[in-house]
Amino acid sequence: MMGQTRTAVELAEKGLRMHIDLGIPYFQSYSHLNCAGTHFILGDLDQARTQAELALQLAMQNNERHIIGLSRVWLGRTIARIDPTQIEAAEQQILQGIKLLEELGLPPFCGIGFMFLGEVYAASGRPKEALAHLKKAEALFEKMGMNYWLGKTREVLASF
């Protein structure tokens, strides 16, 4: 819903309600993950964290490994934004997520993890580490033609 974040939240929450109402446990984690991302973009970080934690919990219950990885990446990003003193906890979540996504052979999602980790490092005054991870993300996005994420990564790189 590029640029229509309120609509994105409404639709993500509608999808989640449908999963709950229908009693479908499988992939309900993905609906929570969508809610986490949209709330993050809106700046509702407490709700973003709650939704990322629920996504992670449900994904673990249902062995949805790719969602476990993505949930950890988003949870780490959110933790870092909520409380900059929790950089180590945020870093650990993101690194665990990237590791799992790499094991699953999902480079698009690994790129997102590298970008978020670069943001976290940049915000915590670790420019060398930030640059290394942002460059990894940039290379992956460029190779795969992921122009939206490539643009986002370059925005962060331009802030150096």
Of 53 and 9, more confident: 53
The string of pLDDT tens digits covering residues 82-141 is 999 999 999 999 999 999 999 999 999 999 999 999 999 999 999 999 999 999 999 999
The helix-helix angle for 107-123 and 65-82 (nearest 10°) equals 10
The CA distance from 25 to 14, in Å, is 15
The string of pLDDT tens digits covering residues 34-86 is 889 989 998 999 999 999 999 999 999 999 999 999 999 999 999 999 999 99
Task: Look at residue 2 and tell me whether its pLDDT is greater than 60.
Answer: no
Which pLDDT score is estimated for 1?
47
Query: Which amino acid is it at 57?
Result: Q
Yes or no: domain 1-105 corresponds to CATH 1.10.3720.10: no
- Closest among 99, 107, 104, 80 to 91, alpha carbons compared: 80
Tell me 92's DSSP state. Answer: H
pTM for this entry? 0.87
The string of pLDDT tens digits covering residues 52-62 is 999 999 999 99
Ordered by start, the domain boundaries in the chain are 1-105, 107-160
